[in-house]
Chains A and B, each alone.
Chain A
Amino acid sequence: MSNKVIGTSVPRWDAWSKVCGKADYTADIPVKNMLYGKIVRATIAHGRVLSLDTQAALAVPGVLKVLTPADLPRVKHATAGHPYTLDRSGDVYDKNILTEDVRLYGDEIAAVIAETQLAADIAAQKITAVYEEYPIYLTAQEAMTEGAREIHEGTKGNILADTTAKVGNVEEGFALADYVFEDEHRTQVVQHCHMENQTATAFQSADGRWTCISSTQIPHICRRILGEALDMPWSSFRVIKPFIGGGFGNKQDVTIEPLVVAMSIAMGGRPVRLELEREEVLAYTRVRHAIHYRSKVGVSKDGKITAWQVDAVSKTGGYASHGHSVAAKGGGILCTLYEIPHMSFRSRTVLTNTGNAGAMRGYGVPQITFAIEAMTDKICKELQLDPFEFRLANFKKEGAPHPLNGIPMVTNKVADCLTLGRQRFGWDAKMADSGAKGGSVRRGVGVAAFSYATGVYPYSLEIAGCRLTLNQDGTVKMLVGATEIGQGIDTGLAQIAAETLGIPAEMVYAEETTDTDIAPFDTGAYASRQIYVTGVAVAKAAEELKDKICRAAGKFYEIPHSAADVEDAFVINSVTGERVASLGDLALRTYYDKARAQTLTAEVSHNCHDNSYPMGVTFAEVDVDTQTGVVTVRSILNAHDSGVIINPLLAKGQVEGGMGMAISYALGEDLFYDPKTGEPLNNNLLDYKMPTCMDTPELDCMFVEPEDPFGPFGAKGLGEPPICSPAAAIRNAVCHALGFEINALPLTPGKVFAAIQNNRGGGADV
């Protein structure tokens, strides 16, 4: 059957409720007898709380309780929303819900519970702490210095992880090189800035267990971490995710849920809401890792890469979170973008007394892509090689195995993205138009490619579930444990169900809430995994339901079940093509036929043992004003191979959103800390330069669509890929305009102007 639903821009089912203000997010859900929480945060970046004075806080009218570390379980938990590992080796268990050991400015040292938010806020400000202060380390270099105090006892040199991924023998590779290039690249700390701040409400349910309504990307993982953090059986908790106002990886960490449940427990089960303020979210939830790369690349006379060595130092902040896996991901990216016979990729992840870095859209790949493609640009410039020919000659070939895990990259159309994108962008004309543009403006063009992965197999568990129920009228209710966080996954999954079942997409009802008591098990929204992993679960469940429908048709109608099929919501005879009955007629009989009624459901748990590799390229054209250092993006195109596109309109939305985020990553966003105290300096949306629509240029995107054999209907992941390569392409365009390199992000007017003055790049230590 030809696709009727896949590849069409089915409107997202929840759009109407969102434009009407009907969609309920966590803070919109009314709960009786609610209490309000507020976190008391450390006002130093490194030290120990010797005493807390809570008297004045307790005297504030409406304040009911102040929680301190002594009131909570002393067990440590890992906040990263990774799949669990049976030997608990996957994560670092380093976090107490509240702590006396302060590891970053704003660390959580106490919490107030009050009858009103105002009372809680006022009381929190009245709590004072006496500290023993330790030296603070705001950069990885400082934290790794000989004799530096361990931020977490037992973490030698404050190095959380030190791993090296190898292909071949890098020294042999350099021996084969005719040219060797070396450079350093640095990226900055940025924040997700999802529009909905982290919010959670907890209460004791009628069955005595604990319900937590939360804006989490990972409800099922959140439930497990609640159990670990509170030292209670995992089934004591029920996590419910309603509509979410964005996450981008920040809500893939469990940051507030254990505390809000602890608050409700402390209040005998009364509901408590904890809603972070924007300033808390920016500074005290999670940020993107700043990474410092030292790269060395060997190239032969015929323009082939012979060796590539990277030494990455990643700043992870006060706790492990995802830190140990983010920087290391770069090795797999490097050797799947280019064919590198000899590679060594060392990554050290270092604890510092700064904002806690975790998962953020792209998971270390925007950083490593910046370093890789800046090196590629350097090689092409210095050897006077065509940047397209060099890339095409060195790209990893389609079908080649992933050098680190052996999985074949069956579809890989990065070369098509490069050549077709070049045409669509009008590269050659734009290149001809570059250079001095009169006055102080110089124009340049840049290109950068990236490689990504879909999901976390083979490194971690990949599991997803789906339950489909045939309703009385032939419509289908779909329940998944996957998490809709704004990307539109529910709509895409409904399209997969509809296509498989032979019904229109609007006959599949998705569900805005993911409830761990009800939704099938699925690890949630991260790693661009859901269309690929959950999508297969949905397709399998739909196949099973369709088989049951055909068998029921054999029971109710004059047709052998082997001849029955479903098309356009009718049961048909697939041999004659005749319509036998409407699906609604059949469905009604499955509920109410006195003798033979048996309702139809299908439930599938899918353990995914595949990975497929989304690839792509960004093209950028910029103007640089050499008198002010201001960079203006004139045009930008992302070309993506994410396999078959399930929903073009939603896919375009994902790509443009990622590009918008990436452009300000390239040009403006940067989270600063006071060098003396470690206090965040710009943790608000006025001083932190999240882009407005005046800062974001017109965006263009295109798709090359190979049919991937593993993803449902040929799809690969798309959520994170769009943010991977724009910053590198913009940087290359700026360097082209200026004629010299700048090797640190972001390319703010101040940095670009200084570089023009000095005619060189550089930046501060990360």
Chain B
Amino acid sequence: MSGRDYLGEFEHIVVLALLRLGDRAYGVTVRQEIELRIGREVSIGAIYATLGRLETKGYVNSYLGDPTPERGGRSKRFFRVTAKGVAAVNRTHRALRRMTEGLRLARRY
């Protein structure tokens, strides 16, 4: 993987959600955090498809928790951002800052 990889739009959102959630980050909390902050319903399939890609790239890693009865005896899969993932976020932010420097973007509420 080259050092020039930037995060895609939704990958960026998911990684930021993981950073906000810390140790509490699994499918449900990530989905709810994104939905709360961007105001749009997101499917759990989209979250896991993105997390799968991020894990393949080495930007996140995951581990299984204990099974719980409210999940029908299934375990939670927790995610955390790796150092490589943090570097990718920083790289993407720097690129976005450089691209938006000097632009006068209209505010919409």
Chain B binds chain A: no
